[in-house]
Amino acid sequence: NAGVTQTPKFQVLKTGQSMTLQCAQDMNHEYMSWYRQDPGMGLRLIHYSVGAGITDQGEVPNGYNVSRSTTEDFPLRLLSAAPSQTSVYFCASRIAGQRNSPLHFGNGTRLTVT
């Protein structure tokens, strides 16, 4: 079991560029999500999905798109990168519908937008 795998680990973008952060899990988890972590802010939810074909917005969705075509994959797209999107991004998954199931996190992607 690899768990939750995120790629890349580090990325530097110029303002206006687009890119996709990849996330894959091999635990057959229905629920997947993306968080961003900024200093002094904790982690904030960007988007989430409760199954293939179903996505919804979190707290800070602007500037990001997601899709969920398979149970395993949940990519996060930055359409036109801005310096405000400099952050550490975490993908996380869990079993849906099970009481108290914890989130399993990937190792994060550190993104810098210049």
**By CB under 8 A, is residue 99 in contact with other proteins?**
yes
Q: How far is the CB of 76 from other proteins (least distance, A)?
A: 16
**By CB under 8 A, is residue 74 in contact with other proteins?**
no
**By CB under 8 A, is residue 41 in contact with other proteins?**
yes
Q: How far is the CB of 16 from other proteins (least distance, A)?
A: 27
Residue located via tokens 């790629």: 7
End-to-end, the C-alpha distance of the chain in Å comes to 36
How big is the site for other proteins, counted in residues (CB under 8 A)?
26
Cα 46 to Cα 34: distance, rounded to the nearest angstrom = 5
**By CB under 8 A, is residue 1 in contact with other proteins?**
no
**By CB under 8 A, is residue 108 in contact with other proteins?**
yes
Which helix (H) or strand (E) is 23 found in, with range? strand 19-25
Cβ atoms within 10 Å, residue 1: 5
Which residues here bind other proteins, judged by CB under 8 A?
31, 33, 35, 40-45, 48, 50, 56-59, 88, 90, 92, 99-100, 102-103, 105, 107-108, 110
